[in-house]
């Protein structure tokens, strides 16, 4: 796999025009963040043949011994995911620009935690029962590498600091522009940049954590003092702590941004907030549908249907049932093998 480095990314255009407007310059960080999530959604929507689970071997082989206690636990986790998505949808449907601008304070974490809960339900069916976000993201990274997810979101970054490799995203080596993606090459370039910057943040955070602890800090062999500067060999020593950088790590940036001063820059920026919410909602719906499909595969389609029919009033006849009919049920009917129909019964 060819390494993709910041210094050797390929420009999409020879000379990209850079707007000089002061308001635009102040909005660039927020615009780039919007670009990233638009690109993720663009890549999913333009990879229709690679965005489903119908031919996914991991999905077809997925099974679990689900007890009545497990069913109740899974229903609770799914209710958390759906209620959070309901709140996100309620905000997006209001549609007022000013309201959506200020709503980022809660819609960012809502998008993250809705997907997080759905992922938690999926992991529960694999016997991984934890509330630790770090552990859940680590397990999610392993599942991505094992091809548990469609190729449309199966990309990831690996390797030590300043020597990252991008996998399953062949156009990630192109330099990302400042405009909304209009082509697949632009979307992949922006996703690739998002993966690299996120992995850099992870590496630096781990470095800081390691160096603060006298028991783990890397020290000078000559002076015994904690090193301020690291070589490539030092970065390699912490690579195992980083795991893989996947879409789930990119989504975690929503949670981080919502809890820091960075969110104020978004609120004050001149970007398309309605588009931002539409992208988030689309990604949430897609990701939750994948995890719901896995849960249905594990417990059986009829038991999953029962959970959906017993939803509280605010969730009945809603997006949950719509996804059941359009995303989950087709996996157990059209072109499904007899073995899978039996498992779903």
pLDDT, position 120 = 98
**pLDDT at residue 240 is higher than 80:** yes
- Integer Cα distance of 210 and 207 in angstroms: 5
Whether the pTM exceeds 0.75: the reply is yes
Q: What is the mean pLDDT of residues 90-107?
A: 85
pLDDT, position 51 = 86
**pLDDT at residue 3 is higher than 70:** no
Q: What is the mean pLDDT of residues 207-222?
A: 90
Q: What are the distances in angstroms from CA 215 to CA 38, 206, 210, 218, 277?
A: 43, 14, 8, 9, 44
**pLDDT at residue 343 is higher than 90:** no
Residue among 152, 151, 126 at smallest CA distance from 140: 126
Domain ranges of the chain: 6-13+22-201+232-344
Q: CA quadruple 143, 36, 285, 168: dihedral positive or negative? A: negative
């Amino acid at each position: 796999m060819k390494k993709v480095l910041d210094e050797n990314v390929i420009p999409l255009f020879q000379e990209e025009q850079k707007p000089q407007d002061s308001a635009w310059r102040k909005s660039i960080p927020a615009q780039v963040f919007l670009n990233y999530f638009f690109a993720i959604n663009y890549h999913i929507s333009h990879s229709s043949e690679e965005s489903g689970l119908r031919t996914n071997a991991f999905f077809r082989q997925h099974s679990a011994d689900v007890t009545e206690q497990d069913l109740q636990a899974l229903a609770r986790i799914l209710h958390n995911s759906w209620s959070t998505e309901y709140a996100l949808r309620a905000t997006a449907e209001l549609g007022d620009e000013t309201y959506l601008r200020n709503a980022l304070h809660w819609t960012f974490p809502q998008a993250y935690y809705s997907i997080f809960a759905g992922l938690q339900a999926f992991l529960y069916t694999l016997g991984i029962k934890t509330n630790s976000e770090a552990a859940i993201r680590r397990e999610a990274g392993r599942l991505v590498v094992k091809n548990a997810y469609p190729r449309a979101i199966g990309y990831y970054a690996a390797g030590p600091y300043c020597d990252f490799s991008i996998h399953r995203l062949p156009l990630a080596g192109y330099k990302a522009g400042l405009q909304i993606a209009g082509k697949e090459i632009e979307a992949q370039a922006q996703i690739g940049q998002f993966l690299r910057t996120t992995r850099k943040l992870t590496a630096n955070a781990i470095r800081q954590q390691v160096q603060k602890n006298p028991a783990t800090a890397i020290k000078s062999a000559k002076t015994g003092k904690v090193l301020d500067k690291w070589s490539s060999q030092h970065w390699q020593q912490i690579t195992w702590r980083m795991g893989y950088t996947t879409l789930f790590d990119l989504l975690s940036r929503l949670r981080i941004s919502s809890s820091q001063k960075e969110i104020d820059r978004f609120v004050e920026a001149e970007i398309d907030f309605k588009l931002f919410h539409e992208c988030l909602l689309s990604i949430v719906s897609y990701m939750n549908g994948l995890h719901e499909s896995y849960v249905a595969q594990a417990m059986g389609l009829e038991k999953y249907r029962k959970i959906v029919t017993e939803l509280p009033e605010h969730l009945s006849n809603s997006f949950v049932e719509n996804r059941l009919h359009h995303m989950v049920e087709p996996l157990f009917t059209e072109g499904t093998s007899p073995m899978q129909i039996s498992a779903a019964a």
